[in-house]
Amino acid sequence: MDYTEAIIWYTAWPVLIFIAYKFVMLNLRHHAKMERLEMLEERFGEQFPHTDALLKNRPKSQE
């Protein structure tokens, strides 16, 4: 009997799960960084209201 396909599957699925886990963790860290950046932008706008117009009028490519 040829067990090659089973051997490949049993060695590949832990690698696939690990890659998926790393991808999800990367996305969660990125999301946390973006949330913190938004919080800091809001705080900056409250501390320096004269720059609020500059932040609102920036091009869409920078948002």
What confidence score (pLDDT) does residue 43 get? 84
Provide the residue type at 19 as one letter.
I
Q: CB under 8 Å to 41, separation ≥6 — which residues? A: 55
What confidence score (pLDDT) does residue 59 get? 60
pTM for the full predicted model: 0.57
What confidence score (pLDDT) does residue 46 get? 73
Collect the ranges in the chain with pLDDT lower than 50. Answer: none
What confidence score (pLDDT) does residue 56 get? 65
